[in-house]
Structure 1
Amino acid sequence: MAGIALVQRDLAATRDRLRDWFAAQTDGEVAVSELRAANRSAGWSSECLVFSVTTDGRSAEYVIRIPPAGGGIFPDYDLASQVATQELLHGYGIATPAPLRYEPDPAWIGSKFLVMPRIVGHTPSDTSYATRGWLHDAGVAVQRTAHDSFLQTLARLHRVPVEQAAWLARPGGVGVGPELDWWREYVRWGTDGAVPELMSTAFDWLTRHMPSEPTDLSICWGDARLSNAIFDDTGEIVGALDWEQACICPAEADFAWWLATRRQMLEVNGLDLDPELPGFDSRDEVVRRYEQLLGRPLQHLRWYEIFAMVRMGCCILRTQALLRATGQADHFLTRAPILPAWTVAAVGS
């Protein structure tokens, strides 16, 4: 999707200025195609547009990532940090898009922006991959490859030395406490201070039950789910996308986010399955396998899964506010529950 923004961008003007930007970097004749949405399965937070560039008869496809005009889901869009994260991780064998071109000067298109090569493949939808679409129809072997490729990508990510990504520290530092504080402040910002009582209750529960014993820290994706990955026809990951929520936390934060979003998808579709696809591991089996890959037991998974859904709820609240502000009050997401039923029950206990 092209993102949710308070101000609609003039795509024709952006295309012209983007052509000028490419022309400034080459001696050849440059043509830029029309800009169109890059991914309709995900991509709510930034404006992500795909286009082709032809230079001296040679064409290549790119994606431009732009902070939403007028404001968006997040209070700040630090593209320089995203570039540094993706370049670091690419060097450790994680399939982030490369090479990247970052332009910090807003004079070109009215905003800083990031250009990266387009990766062609399949992106499962968060809400329906277990009921229809490419992954559902691909068969057990491809499902198994996609599942394992995703699991191995997480394991590879969580082994990258955290000291090499100091820019990912939150204002209060690194780890669970600063991350929880950041999200509490985020929901205040995202709701203009009108935090629903349910979310205040959820944050109070998380604070009371926050894990106390030390856990190894890792570079975390922050949004580790299938819709942020691109798969080839065999099920291998060829693109790992959307690193704007990257942080330094225990690996449990990423792994539980994946578990919780899988559970959320099943609840949305009224399904009672474990696993949700025949080529996937059950919850117990994937936990066992990831502990082997990580080399230690996973701790406090229930807390981290609840934290995952509270973080998701914060983003839902902000998305709903943006939809209403842009005249889309009838959008289905404005009627979406802030938290799934199982999370509501947990934080009320």
Structure 2
Amino acid sequence: MPSSSEISGEDLASWLSDRVSSGGAVAVRDFEFPKAGFSNETIFFWASSGVGRDKSEARYVLRREGTGSAIYPVQNPAVPSSIETQSGVLEALAKAEFRLAPEVIAYEPTDAPLGRPFFVMNFVEGRVLPDFPSYTAEGFFKDEASPSVRRNHSETGLAGMAEMHRLDWRQAGLAWLDRGLESSSRMKSQLALWRGYVESVPGCRGNALLDRSLHWLEQNRPTESEPALSWGDARIQNMIFDDAGTCQSILDWEGAAILPPEVDLAWWLGVDHFVHEGSGIERLPGELQQSEQISYYESRLGRTVCDMPYYRVFAAFRTVALMVSTFDRLAAMGIPNAGSSEDNPYEPLLADALESAAKT
């Protein structure tokens, strides 16, 4: 875990002075390091400028490139940085006036100020539902939230995702994310990308389930719906909610791509299943069943979703590959019992999804 001593407050303040204070002096304080993923560092801090009645201060979030390679495969070789991808997507969403995107203050592409590229965005107040322990097992959502608040989490989260999928991503300037420029099929190019990914991850090579699933996905590509901006890590735990359970912001865009909206919905449903039925946890009063979630999402998207069994296999396949990649990273860091294919909790879900889809 990094500490504030590894972030130069003086250098960060100097960098911020031209961006939040028109060149005036800036003071930074109260660094916090929340638990985050493996590819980027997340740092909260306060910054103030001015004196007396002219003094202003605000809380910000800094996202800095990690020391290893990105967790997700690179959509555009010209933009290999996970941090650059995220800041680029957020800036495009701001251009499109998407209300659930945190505002990026600025992106720094060089190592000079803080050792690695980073961007700073406004801090959004609210609650993030945790992964560990799962929000369905203990904590606010399970023990304190009313049924109406639980329902609001699901509905406003799905509504926010559908709103994002309705955006004109071309007009927003996101064509650089589109791997389907030379093909009518985004999934064809995406599967080629993921084939290269699993071949590059030692723990994925020779995994019979991944090989079988990828072959099935390549042989059974459906007619695709109109592509949209795909969030990549579409799950309720990557959103910020107020106390009423209303979604305030969507987080973590490093897996963003241009794909059919069904890709995100399938990922959302896969994670939802894992933290409920897949973990032996019953749904609480107010929580939507999966069929209700699909219907509600369709009502906000404005059309019926297609070929969900196929996209559920793709979601589970990606999850297993990413989990194995994470196991490899942990092992490389010298962490004992980091995990392996044998105890990957998502492999049974992939096997079930593949078997079910093959019957349709």
TMscore range, shorter length: 0.7 to 0.9
| Residues 59 and 190 (structure 1), Cα distance of their counterparts in 2 relative to 1, 3 Å cut | farther
SS in 2 for 1:71: coil
Per-residue CA distance 1:198-223 (angstroms, 9 max, x = gap): 21122112222221x24221111111
Asked if structure 1 preserves the Cα contact closer than 8 Å seen for 2:162 and 2:300, the reply is yes
For 1:169, the aligned partner's letter is D
Structure 1 position 32 matched with structure 2 position 28: yes
- Cα displacement (A) at 1:335: 7.2
Per-residue CA distance 1:223-275 (angstroms, 9 max, x = gap): 1101110001111111111111111111111111111111122255223x4xx
Cα separation, 1, equivalents of 2:241 and 2:341: 30
Asked if structure 2 preserves the Cα contact closer than 8 Å seen for 1:175 and 1:248, the reply is yes
Per-residue CA distance 1:73-132 (angstroms, 9 max, x = gap): 246324333223213323333311114311112211222111011112111124612221
- Cα displacement (A) at 1:24: 5.1
Q: Identity over the aligned pairs, expressed in percent?
A: 30
Which has the higher mean CA deviation after the structures are superposed, 131-140 or 20-29?
20-29
1:5 aligns with none
Structure 2 residue ranges without an equivalent (≥5): 74-79
Which has the higher mean CA deviation after the structures are superposed, 319-328 or 200-209?
200-209
State the Cα RMSD in Å: 2.6
1:60 aligns with 58
- Cα displacement (A) at 1:35: 3.2
Cα separation, 2, equivalents of 1:283 and 1:83: 32
Per-residue CA distance 1:262-312 (angstroms, 9 max, x = gap): 1122255223x4xx2322221222222222322222111111111111111
Asked if structure 1 preserves the Cα contact closer than 8 Å seen for 2:4 and 2:31, the reply is no
| Residues 111 and 251 (structure 1), Cα distance of their counterparts in 2 relative to 1, 3 Å cut | same
Asked if structure 2 preserves the Cα contact closer than 8 Å seen for 1:147 and 1:279, the reply is no
SS in 2 for 1:124: coil
Cα separation, 2, equivalents of 1:209 and 1:121: 42
1:226 aligns with 236
SS in 2 for 1:33: strand
Which has the higher mean CA deviation after the structures are superposed, 110-119 or 27-36?
27-36
SS in 1 for 2:323: helix
Asked if structure 1 preserves the Cα contact closer than 8 Å seen for 2:166 and 2:228, the reply is yes
Cα separation, 1, equivalents of 2:160 and 2:45: 28
1:132 aligns with 138
Cα separation, 1, equivalents of 2:286 and 2:16: 44
For 1:205-284, list aligned pairs within 5 A: 205-211=216-222, 213-271=223-281, 273=282, 276-284=283-291
Asked if structure 2 preserves the Cα contact closer than 8 Å seen for 1:77 and 1:244, the reply is no
| Residues 117 and 335 (structure 1), Cα distance of their counterparts in 2 relative to 1, 3 Å cut | farther
Cα separation, 2, equivalents of 1:328 and 1:342: 26
SS in 1 for 2:102: coil
Cα separation, 2, equivalents of 1:35 and 1:335: 39
1:189 aligns with 200
Cα separation, 1, equivalents of 2:3 and 2:301: 44
Structure 1 position 343 matched with structure 2 position 353: no
Asked if structure 1 preserves the Cα contact closer than 8 Å seen for 2:262 and 2:306, the reply is yes
For 1:345, the aligned partner's letter is D
| Residues 346 and 93 (structure 1), Cα distance of their counterparts in 2 relative to 1, 3 Å cut | closer
2:91 aligns with 87
Structure 1 position 167 matched with structure 2 position 176: yes
Structure 1 position 311 matched with structure 2 position 318: yes
Asked if structure 1 preserves the Cα contact closer than 8 Å seen for 2:324 and 2:340, the reply is no
Normalised by the size of structure 1, how large is the TM-score? 0.87
Cα separation, 1, equivalents of 2:7 and 2:44: 15
- Cα displacement (A) at 1:325: 0.9
Structure 1 residue ranges without an equivalent (≥5): 3-7
- Cα displacement (A) at 1:37: 1.6
Cα separation, 2, equivalents of 1:209 and 1:100: 43
| Residues 74 and 345 (structure 1), Cα distance of their counterparts in 2 relative to 1, 3 Å cut | closer
Structure 1 position 107 matched with structure 2 position 117: no
1:118 aligns with 123
Asked if structure 2 preserves the Cα contact closer than 8 Å seen for 1:30 and 1:55, the reply is yes
